Amino acid sequence: MNKKEAVNKLAVVALIYKKEVINLMNHLGLASLSPNASQLKVNRIFIDNLTNKEFVEKLDEIVVKDSGNYSNAIFTITAIVVASLIVVGTAVKVGMDASSARKQRAELISEQRRATYLNEEERDEIARIEREKFQNMFLEAQAQYLNTEEQVYLEKIERKKKNIAMILTGGIVTVVAATYILK
């Protein structure tokens, strides 16, 4: 499973279990959200706490316990596995960055070379942009899920209409045939 698939699954969890996620975040003291908080606000706090082990474990319990209640919410892996994939991927990158940074620091001798590196404000700006990209991936996945749900719903309605039309047509034909036979 790649990062995009993991993000899609987490986004669907945050969407489907919005009320449960809000209750969990409030219970753990991670947020103080009202039950009708916007999905964007829930997503932000959800994303911020993906590295929180207790949050992820409790989230996993919610998904495993209630997954049968949503017919279209089929999860091939639990939320904790998806979250750990993202966390592990991030931890590996941070470890590689730290190792790389040590080597680069050893190479830095002159003040001129130090000036070429990003200052703290620039790093914060890059982190903010990356976070926004992650949130956009979340929103896109949620929109895609809702679109799919709507299509399934519309297809069910269309099938019901066709079935009703066939039953009515069959009933009319039966009544006409019975009338003809009884004459």
Q: Which band of pLDDT confidence, cut at 50, 70 and 90, is reported for residue 117?
A: low
Contacts of 74 (CB under 8 A, 6+ apart): 67
Query: 5-62, pLDDT tens digit by residue?
Result: 777 888 888 888 889 889 999 999 988 899 899 988 888 888 888 778 888 888 878 7
Q: Round to whole Å and give the CA distance between 107 and 170.
A: 85
What is the rounded CA–CA span in Å between residue 39 and residue 115?
41
pLDDT higher than 90, residue 69? no
Least confident of 32-41, 68-77, 118-127: 68-77
Domain ranges across the chain: 3-182
The overall pTM is greater than 0.85: no
Residue 137: CB atoms within 10 A of its CB come to 17
